[in-house]
Structure 1
Amino acid sequence: MKTLIKNGRINTFGNQTTAAAIWLENGIIQGIGVNFPEADFDQVYDAQNQLITPGLVDVHVHLREPGFTYKETIKTGSQAAARGGFTTVCAMPNLNPVPDTVEKFTALEEIIKQDAVVKVLQYAPITEELRSEILTDQKGLKAAGAFAFTNDGVGVQTAGTMYLAMKEAAENNMAIVAHTEDESLLFGGVMHKGAVSEKLDLPGIMSATESSQIARDLILAEETGVHYHVCHVSTKESVRVIRDAKKAGVHVTAEVSPHHLILIDENIPEDNGFWKMNPPLRGDEDRQALIEGLLDGTLDCIATDHAPHCLEEKQQSFLKAPFGIVGSETAFQLIYSNFVETGIFTFEQVIDWMAVQPARIFGLEVGTLTIGQPADIAVFNLTEETVIDDKEFQSMGVNTPFVGWKIKGETLMTFVDGKLVYQKEAK
């Protein structure tokens, strides 16, 4: 199938090409130009003078299948990703059953192959059942297709276990991806420890709960030489220790989520589970440190931590609701509207953090608009203002406090390997 996307704009190194067109065939970008004869193509899509970008890459999503399909499925989660302009997502293994053996991992890969509309790269767990001290068969799981290893959702509590996992991952040339949370420092906390937690009379989570485990892991990463990637960084102390480790030559990369860049604990209006996420929303000094960390290269990419839950679960107090916020369908729009429109980030930086860098740090052949590369493409409307409406979500989860926010950057079309997987319906 020979496909043409016409009448777009392409932004390259700060220069925009108008009336740009892209030729897609056999799943590959075959040409980028302005004068392709439409009669030569089987399918022609009009970009309506909007921006064409590489498909976004999200290294942190929860698709909930198997085990929690009342929250999300691989099909609905991948459809949500496509609506957000993501063409590659990396799915966490906190599932039931946990894909901690080659057999269970292979069974999960079959569901992904059958149901996903975008590219889904599946993580394998570091330890059996996520909670144990027994390492998984890294070599076997890598051969079965594991993207990297993580115990996201709980983290590795024992330094010795993490050391052994890192040592083996380094030998297998695989990354260890860490949810950093020292449970011995949690003390039942459900939100950031500070003035707001005191006002709402809710137990707080110290910043040290996150940053102390990152500091531990960075020493172990230096010892083993592993690629160590930190999930959803949220505190200024975490940024500081990662920055110092990079200066020391440790192979560490890190991600930050849109909600931690935009919101702080002072935005939480009441005891409402929609605002409960892990790590929690922190203070404004933390938020500013995250922005500075992106700008100076301490933090490498933006990842959503898309974590859907059913409505009944989230319509509870902080004490009872599960942690989590959905983000696949709103991440680009929120980042563009809050940071590019306000002049804090450039558009090129955002595409770098949401496409180029996540692909680069994990060695993926996606994330760029380049002839000969996979035809993974998004088209965004940067001119029309819309409102985030959870009734339009492709995800089964609507647990986000961003509903009702006015944004720009809505996705018009998403292509994966040259195939249209999402197109905004005309109203």
Structure 2
Amino acid sequence: MVISAQGAPPLEDFSNGGWVPHSPGERAINFISLAINIVNICGNSFIFYLFATDRGLREARTFLILNLAVADFLWGGSAGFTELWNGIAGGFATGPAGCQAVLFLAALGIAVSMQTLMWISVDRWLHIVHERPSPSSVIMYIIALVWSVAISFATWLMLASRPAGGAIIAATHTYCDAPWLIQTPLMKSVAYFTLTCYVFFLTVMALCYGTIYRKFRRVRARIARLTVRSLGSATTGSSLSSQWSATFPNDLGVQRSKEDSAVSDVLELGVGRSSQTDRSERIRRRRERGHLMEQEQQEERAVVFKFVTLVAFFSVSWGFWVVGVVAYETFTNKPSPANLTGMGAIMAYTNSAANPLLFIFLDKRFMSSAKNALGLYQYN
């Protein structure tokens, strides 16, 4: 169910989706969404604190993550304010003017957030697979481009919403959204553009992280071959160890220092020891090989978990809103039911709330900085 922001008659009866206006369920949805957005605000505020206190994070490439935090904080904060007001007062207390402002900020923040997540994957793909780190000027250009596209998209959406009287309130009274169901060329163009962008961003992220994983597997296979051979040249061992270091930068999330040490140990097994063929030496080498392979398998599982988490969370969280609200209303020309609008809102908020946690727990630089900021560095 949706209501015109200008106070026009309801577009559909509140019985749509079985929703009762101003009910305890409505308040519950608002307060659940508020709780998620509080996590969003606190998590992204912590990201800001890390950037302010840790000079090691102040490099162009990590500014993409800072840009993501700004976007999520922007629309999560505005949504949290309206949810608090509406949850206490009941109904849609913020009114039409507040609905217009919240929709613009939400459209702006969502557009920046989704674009930035895609560009982070592209930047890592260039840096790891092609060994071409993006220059600082390129990163700044990308950030400027992201905001330009987002402002254009938000303005486009507001103009397309005018025939319906502007932004509308969803059936759950949880958030303001565009009237995706109206049959105008401008609104249809915005809807199809939104759906296309979601599919495009998801595809790019999956391809980038999939290619990075294949690179990881190739290097892992190379290390396995070196282990079996137990090379006997100190020069060759040093060269290959250096090659491994160059192949895997820290950004992949692999514990490179531990792997470097393990690889060096294996390479050194054959250095000046070609005559040592006794049984104890062979046993020691087998143990070294087993230890290295076990460590590599653990690292591989960690990399798979990281990439699958990022891509799956993006697809599922944004998918609820894109499919359940945008696509549903666009193709059926009917308001989205309360259960879909509620899940769409909660999952979209969850994405922005989880982003800072994902990057802290899945990126070693941010994890180290966070532990240091919390006084837990000694447990590293």
Q: TM-score range by the shorter chain?
A: under 0.3
Bigger relative contact order, structure 1 or 2 (CA pairs below 8 A, ≥6 apart): 2
TM-score when scaled to structure 2? 0.24
Q: Tell which structure's C-alpha radius of gyration is larger.
A: 2
